[in-house]
């Protein structure tokens, strides 16, 4: 059964400057747990360009501790953008409070991002890798992914419709290319700028997606969880 990752806070932060009050987060975490959502991406841990950003742009242990206490079976994690990551902010999973990390990389940074994933896995983290702007991943980049011999360290490889340009007929093409590159667990992150978030996500599930992303009430600009739930 496909797993569900809620990225309301992390992606919704683009609309709120990553500023949320505790009550909103507590209520969301409880709602996700009640609905048996698998993952909650609670923000970023970006150490660069964080001036003027809200608390959830840099999720440290002190911030996360209060929410971790109520999460029960919900897995809480964060995203780090390759362009803004400081590996020193991730000492070890043993000394951290996150259940997973998702590393976002653009096509021109795939080799470097793979190295980061390897290092984070060595430090004990459960790691997702997200390929941004998936239509711009060239054949040469797919070849790099194919030659990478540590695919099994990833929880899953995400493809992201970063700029809302992907349509349902495109989804099987991306899945096939990544399967041919040797990836068994492939996930999908939608954006709804053209209104295709639901259709694209359903097509990804049809293609065997390991997990898909949702948000609450459209806050993150991704697939609205209500729309997804209504179609089940």
pLDDT tens figures, 188-220:
999 999 999 999 999 999 999 999 999 999 899
Check whether 162 has a pLDDT greater than 90.
Answer: yes
Res 126: pLDDT? 98
The residue among 64, 6, 8 whose CA lies nearest residue 219 is: 8
Res 48: pLDDT? 85
Check whether 223 has a pLDDT greater than 90.
Answer: yes
232 band by pLDDT with thresholds 50, 70 and 90? confident
Average pLDDT, stretch 57-84? 95
Res 153: pLDDT? 98
Check whether 140 has a pLDDT greater than 90.
Answer: yes
Average pLDDT, stretch 166-181? 98
Average pLDDT, stretch 20-28? 97
154 band by pLDDT with thresholds 50, 70 and 90? very high
Q: Is 46 left (phi over 0), alpha (psi -120 to 50) or beta?
A: beta
Domain 3-230: give its CATH superfamily: Aldolase class I (3.20.20.70)
Check whether 47 has a pLDDT greater than 90.
Answer: no
Instruction: List, in order, residues 6 or more apart from 62 with CB less than 8 Å away.
Output: none
pLDDT tens figures, 73-115:
999 999 999 989 999 999 999 999 999 999 999 999 999 999 9
Please provide the average confidence, as pLDDT, over all residues in the chain. 96
């Amino acid at each position: 059964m496909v797993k569900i990752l809620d990225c309301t806070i992390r992606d919704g932060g683009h609309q709120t400057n990553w500023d949320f009050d505790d009550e909103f987060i507590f209520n969301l975490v409880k709602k996700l747990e009640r609905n048996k959502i698998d993952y909650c991406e609670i923000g970023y841990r970006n150490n660069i360009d964080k001036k003027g950003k809200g608390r959830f742009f840099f999720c440290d242990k002190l911030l996360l501790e209060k929410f971790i206490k109520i999460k029960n079976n919900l897995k809480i994690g964060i995203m780090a953008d390759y362009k803004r990551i400081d590996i020193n902010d991730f000492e070890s999973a043993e000394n951290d409070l996150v259940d997973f990390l998702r590393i976002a990389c653009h096509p021109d940074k795939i080799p470097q991002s793979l190295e980061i994933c390897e290092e984070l896995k060595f430090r004990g983290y459960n790691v997702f890798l997200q390929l941004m702007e998936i239509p711009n991943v060239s054949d040469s980049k797919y070849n790099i992914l194919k030659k990478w011999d540590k695919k099994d360290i990833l929880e899953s490889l995400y493809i992201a419709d970063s700029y809302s340009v992907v349509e349902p007929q495109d989804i099987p093409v991306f899945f096939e290319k990544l399967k041919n590159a040797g990836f068994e667990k492939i996930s999908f992150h939608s954006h709804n700028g053209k209104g295709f978030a639901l259709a694209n996500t359903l097509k990804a599930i049809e293609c065997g997606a390991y997990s898909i992303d949702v948000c609450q009430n459209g806050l993150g600009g991704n697939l609205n969880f209500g729309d997804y739930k209504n179609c089940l």
